[in-house]
Chains A and B, each alone.
Chain A
Amino acid sequence: DSGVTQTPKHLITATGQRVTLRCSPRSGDLSVYWYQQSLDQGLQFLIHYYNGEERAKGNILERFSAQQFPDLHSELNLSSLELGDSALYFCASSKLQGARTEAFFGQGTRLTVV
Chain B
Amino acid sequence: GQSLEQPSEVTAVEGAIVQINCTYQTSGFYGLSWYQQHDGGAPTFLSYNALDGLEETGRFSSFLSRSDSYGYLLLQELQMKDSASYFCAVPDSSYKLIFGSGTRLLVRP
Tell me if chain B binds chain A.
yes
Residues of A within 8 A of B (CB): 2, 31, 33, 35, 41-43, 45, 48, 50, 55-56, 58, 90, 92, 97-108
* B42 and A43 form a contact (CB under 8 A): no
Q: Give the size of the chain B interface in residues (CB under 8 angstroms).
A: 22
Q: Which of B30, B33, B42, B98 contacts A107 (CB 8 A)?
A: B42
**Chain B residue at smallest Cβ distance from A90:** B42
A99 to B97, CA, bound (A): 7
15 A–B pairs (Cβ distance < 8 Å), ordered by A? A42-B99, A42-B101, A43-B102, A50-B95, A55-B95, A56-B94, A56-B95, A56-B96, A90-B43, A92-B43, A98-B92, A100-B91, A103-B45, A104-B45, A105-B43
Binding site secondary structure of chain A: loop
Contacts of A102 in B (CB 8 A): 33, 45, 48
Mark each residue of chain B from 78 to 100: 1 if its CB lies under 8 Å from any CB of chain A, else 0: 00000000010001101111111
Contacts of A92 in B (CB 8 A): 43, 97
Residues of B within 8 A of A (CB): 30-31, 33, 41-45, 48, 50, 87, 91-92, 94-102
Contacts of B44 in A (CB 8 A): 2, 105
